[in-house]
Amino acid sequence: MAKELLIKKAESGDIPTIVEYLRFMMEEMASTGGHQISKNESEWGNLNEYISKELMNQEHIFIMAKRAVPSMQSVGFVEARIKTLSFMFEPKRILHIHSLYVDKTNRRVGIGRALLESAIEWGQGLGCEEVELSVLIGNSAQSLYKKLGFQTCELEMLRKL
């Protein structure tokens, strides 16, 4: 991975980039078997407000990857939150990776790995015992997840009506 890469917690100025990357990510997901994204622009506008609130949540994090050269250009992000397993299970804290996106022109150089490792370190610091994520069958990022030790433990099935 290039030495000029900076991994840092997202700030309010990063929100437009996060929204843009979420849209790109979801479009890619739709092309590999995921649901079609909303064309309602007001819903996408509401996402700005949601992320702004979640940036203050101590158990939810957005982490940015930026290239220092030439001008702190964003190249990816990861979103993670802490969830607590309880009720009918033995209680434990789990880190849930909600979103991971790396700009297409910056893939396969270690940015996704650096973002995931940063999120995992954050979760460990908050007492998480496990990390989980969901991935579509056709998503090529599965190879990265496997290299980082992720294993399939649950299978979600879908039937169209």
CB distance 100 to 91 below 8 Å: no
**158 found inside a domain:** no
The domain total for the chain is 1
Q: Which residues contact 70 (CB under 8 A, 6 or more apart)?
A: none
Element (H, E) at 92: strand 92-102
The reported pTM is: 0.93
pLDDT mean for each 10 residues of the chain (161 residues): 83 96 94 89 90 97 91 94 91 96 95 98 97 93 96 90 93
Flag whether 103 is in a domain: yes
156 lies in a domain? no
Residue 60's pLDDT is what? 98
CATH of the domain at 13: 3.40.630.30
- Give me the torsion for CA of 35, 38, 43, 49, rounded to 10°: 50
Q: What is the DSSP letter of 48?
A: H
Q: Which pLDDT does position 64 carry in this prediction? A: 98
pLDDT in tens, 78-87: 999 999 988 8
What is the per-residue pLDDT for 44?
85
User: Which pLDDT does position 72 carry in this prediction?
Assistant: 84
